Amino acid sequence: MNTPKILEVIDLKKHFPIRGGLFGTTQGYVYAVDGVSFHIHKGETLSLVGESGCGKSTVGKAVLRLFPLTGGQVILDGTRIDDMSAGTLRPLRRKIQVVFQDPFSSLNPRMKVRDILAEPIRNFGLARDAADLERRIGDLMDKVRLPRDAVNRWPHEFSGGQRQRIGIARALAAEPELIVCDEAVSALDVSVKAQIVNLLQDLQQELGLALLFISHDLAIVEHMTHRVAVMYLGKIVEIADKRSLFAAPRHPYTEALLSAVPVPDPTVKRERIILKGDVPSPIRPPPGCRFHTRCPYAMERCRREEPELRPDASGHLAACHLHDLPPAENPLLNHRPPTAFRAGAPA
């Protein structure tokens, strides 16, 4: 990608205080996001994957500035927004919009579709007059392939897929450059999911949108993304181009995730990596590498020292001490379970 960066996140931290006791004092913190850095170029899709509770959605909401950050920087289109006041930030919010997971709670049940779509247009002063506002609302309905006369309906009159289209139209209404898709297709059934994924891809092509695609569904990520960032317990453990990451994961966690994706071929002999135990609590993350408690290749060093994200020769970033071993001893390079993607997935 040679286009400029639309979003850059540097060492983002979000710790939620745990209040308790008689006087509501802070008893500790949930280290939901603990030092995350990445960037997205204009027109690019970056997928953020990881299991439930790893902090993916918190990153999305932090980038949208839906809550104050604990630390780090968020740079939107060259402007630092993490320390801006709400009033200064408001006009800049136009550039970054959001589509949520649940198509039912993401639309106000007491607002008609027209008012839902008009809200961002009015807030950012995008329409010249009432006729222009009408024209824009009609165009948005066309863009998300909904009939124009549906603008006079209430959200409850639509199906889940249609509501998600309205949610996308609302995000587009602000003419953003980046849309955060927070599990935007996870709540939809398979055929509708495919439609919405294709719609997002078409819109990206048409409008040059950048997407931060937060998902736990690797099959869809593989289908629509340019680059992938893998999160584990509030940290990014690996970032790489889609092809490089799916073909040759450089972190044991990514390897385990990929091996869990079903292979649509019964003849493939599979060696699945089953991770032991659960994700440790983000209240007391383990010392050293956060993954060492479940890593099949954990070494003594992993328990003490936290690995940094380091690139290999091709720019594939991974945070793992295994890469300091001689290549012949590195299990990630020598032990490769077949996955859905390596077994001849279309590129």
Partner 1 sequence: MSSTSLPPGLAVAEPMPDILPDRRPRRGVLGFLRRHPTILIGGTLLGIMVLIAIFAPYLWTRDPTALAPALRTRDPGPEFWFGTDMLGRDVYSRVIYGARVSLIVGFSVALLASVIGLAIGLVSGFIRLADAIIMRIMDGMMSIPPILLAIALMALTRGSVRNVIIAITIAEIPRVSRLVRGVVLSLREQPYVEAAIAAGTRTPAIMIKHILPNTLAPLTVQATYICAAAMITEAILSFIGAGTPPIIPSWGNIMAEGRALWQVKPYIVFFPAVFLSVTVLAVNLLGDGLRDAIDPRLAKRL
Binding site for partner 1 (CB under 8 A): 61, 64, 66, 90-91, 93-94, 96-98, 100-102, 105-111, 119-120, 123-124, 167, 170-171, 173-174
Chain centroid to CA 18 = 25
Contact 98, 7 (CB under 8 A): no
d(CA 222, CA 245): 10
For the chain, the 3-state helix, strand and coil shares in percent, each to the nearest 5, are 35, 20, 45
| Least distance CB 80 / partner 1 (angstroms) | 18
d(CA 154, CA 113): 6
| Least distance CB 167 / partner 1 (angstroms) | 7
Choose between 8 and 119: whose C-beta lies nearer to partner 1.
Answer: 119
Choose between 94 and 223: whose C-beta lies nearer to partner 1.
Answer: 94
Choose between 174 and 317: whose C-beta lies nearer to partner 1.
Answer: 174
| Least distance CB 42 / partner 1 (angstroms) | 19
Choose between 45 and 97: whose C-beta lies nearer to partner 1.
Answer: 97
In SS3 terms, 254-310 reads as HHHHHHCCCCCCCCCCCCCCCCCCCCCCCCCCCCCCCCCCCCCCCCHHHHHCCCCCE
| Least distance CB 94 / partner 1 (angstroms) | 7
3-state secondary structure of 66: coil
Q: Judging by beta carbons within 10 Å of its beta carbon (0-12, 13-18, 19+), is residue 212 exposed, middle or buried?
A: buried
Choose between 98 and 221: whose C-beta lies nearer to partner 1.
Answer: 98
| Least distance CB 47 / partner 1 (angstroms) | 20
Tokens 């997971």 map to which residue? 101
Sequence-distant (6+) residues with CB within 8 A of 248 are 316, 336
| Least distance CB 226 / partner 1 (angstroms) | 23
| Least distance CB 303 / partner 1 (angstroms) | 38
Rounded (10°) CA dihedral 276, 279, 284, 287: 50
